[in-house]
Structure 1
Amino acid sequence: MKKIIFKEYFFATIGALLTAFGLAVFLMPHDIACGGANGLAIVLNSVIHVPVGILMYGVNIILFILSFIFIGKEFGAKSIYCTFILNFFVDMFDRILPIPKYTGNDMFLAVFFGVVISAAGMAITFSQNASTGGTDIIAKIFNKYFGLSLGIGLLMSDLIIGLLAGIAYDPTVGMYSIVSVIINGLTVDFIIRGITTDVTMMIISEKKKEILEYILKDLDRGASLINAEGAYSGQKKQFIYVALSRREKNEMIHKIQSIDPDAFITVQPISTVIGYGFKNFKQVI
């Protein structure tokens, strides 16, 4: 259990580090607010001229207070940790141990690389059942009191921050900020699907005992035998039904090929598996 917790915090920290790098190197030098507490901090920076990293601490503290008042204690220790470690990394890259920034005139390159890098970091953090706080909290408040879905609430709050960036700086910055919000959402969704999508497999084989032995002993997975009947032949058959990770899927196919090259296999991607060896209810609710 301790190894699992360490792994989750380790990868969540790597995700926060990547997110901070994309923000500090590419987005912040061009005042591009791609939503979240960091986007709001970039907008506020134009008014009160306090370092963005410091403003992120303030924004997130206020948002967490609002979450405790209007939502309840739904944000776990991991999300609080990720929120403030992200703030720390942003402040470190920007002020404490400043690193070279992209200051070229091509705003598109700044948006593209900044959003892709930071979105990859966010996706890694989200895949560890953690959150970076920020507008996630606003989206939950919209969901609870106005019935908006979390996705729509998050998009609305981030788009408002993009519009505020246009007012605070200039319309071009505002438009690029809105574009960055859209690209960020699509990128996070694409990467999370690649990281977390599991599969189910249905296997029909004359050598099901050998295949089941591999599943149960080598992969340490459970499986079910389901009775079926061939529509053409009328023969009684059994097929194996098993849920696997994407990595295990490839191992499984190679193993079946060596056991029974004539086996019939179907593979179906699925977004969530709850149970032994996969996620538990707390990770998906």
Structure 2
Amino acid sequence: MEEKSFYVKDSIIILFGTALYAFGLVNINIANDLAEGGVTGITLILLALFNIDPAYSTLLINIPLILIGGKILGKHAFYYTIIGTLSLSAFLWIFQRFPVSINLDHDLLIASLLAGLAGGAGSGLIYRVGGTTGGSDVIARILEKNFGVSMGRSLLLFDVFVLTLSLTYLDVKRIMYTLIVSFVFSKIVDSVLDGAYSAKGMLVISNCSEDIGEVIMAMLERGVTYLSGTGGYSQIDKKILYVVVSPSEIIEIKRIVHELDPKAFISVTNVHEAIGEGFTYAKPEKKLFRKMPKKEEVGTKTISSEN
């Protein structure tokens, strides 16, 4: 029953993602004569040269690819890819019959940014639940399994090939704007896949790691973890503090560390996704104002919170 609810939830997300992707493709890309990479780019070439509706060419190209790559995709991905391909064709058909006029004052830069935003957000949602819209993704997986070609390389080569073919109906100027679309598209996809809640990971190497950890747990109510480490030069064992926080809390933690140990080493890294209490689950309720404990008060009480 729980697995079925996941299928329903994921399917709804895929439908929303393909609707957003199709909306951008029809009302921004096609409306402003911008190309596209991958199989979608081929459907636009067929539209420009032979007036073949992308809603139909998407099915004609993708269905054979999906059937060939069915075993490679796996059960869930195969199911989601079928949904993605069918819904994409359906939404392309709908939006072409009921287009929405977006007045961009013939500004190709704005059109490129919006096309990348819509396409990246839609595709990101689809990829986030493990689905695809078929096409070049399937081709890349087949090449990776049978010929050892990495997916990144094959996708790039395929996009370059399709964009080169697009010169048959577009000038170099619009192809260059299409590269902007591709760049924005990839960045938005990464942002969607990385998680809705941005976070930072902080490593603190100090002789006062436990004191610093107690203050962080008391003031910010963030769990901390102590890792075992040994100094490469001193060969002295130390406890390394690790904590995941929101970007707005970095300054506060730096202040805490500096007050307790001015010589502490701090490393801040990007966390692509943070799941757990304080991020995706209910966060402990905080008081409006908190005072930092005095140095002599640190260590007098035990705090059990951990990552």
TM-score (norm 1): 0.70
CA distance in 2, matches of 1:103, 1:57: 31
Structure 1 residues 121, 72: closer, same or farther in 2, change over 3 A?
Answer: closer
Query: What secondary structure does 1:163 align onto?
Result: helix
2:187 aligned residue (170, 176, 190): 190
Identity %: 23
Structure 2, gaps ≥5 residues long? 280-307
Q: Which has the higher helix share?
A: 1
Deviations 1:153-184 (A, max 9, x none): 112212222233322x2x41x6634652x334
Kept after mapping to 1: 8 A contact 2:228/2:240: yes
Kept after mapping to 2: 8 A contact 1:127/1:192: no
- Please tell me whether residue 200 in structure 1 is matched to residue 211 in structure 2: no
- Please tell me whether residue 211 in structure 1 is matched to residue 216 in structure 2: yes
Kept after mapping to 1: 8 A contact 2:20/2:122: yes
Kept after mapping to 2: 8 A contact 1:102/1:110: no
CA distance in 1, matches of 2:249, 2:95: 44
Structure 1 residues 104, 211: closer, same or farther in 2, change over 3 A?
Answer: closer
Aligned residue pairs: how many? Answer: 263
Partner of 1:56: 58
Kept after mapping to 1: 8 A contact 2:124/2:190: no
Query: What secondary structure does 1:223 align onto?
Result: strand
Structure 1 residues 135, 230: closer, same or farther in 2, change over 3 A?
Answer: closer
Partner of 1:93: 95
Deviates more, 1:105-114 or 1:151-160: 105-114
Partner of 1:154: 155
1:144 positional shift: 2.9
Kept after mapping to 2: 8 A contact 1:162/1:175: no
Amino acid at match of 1:89: F
Flag the structure with larger Rg.
Answer: 2
1:255-266 pair list within 5 angstroms: 256=253, 262=259, 264=264, 265-266=266-267
Deviations 1:264-283 (A, max 9, x none): 5421125589x9899xxxxx
1:66-81 pair list within 5 angstroms: 66-68=68-70, 71=72, 73=74, 75-81=77-83
CA distance in 2, matches of 1:214, 1:60: 54
Partner of 1:269: 270
Partner of 1:281: none
Structure 1, gaps ≥5 residues long? 279-285
Partner of 2:282: none
CA distance in 2, matches of 1:148, 1:179: 28
1:9 positional shift: 4.8
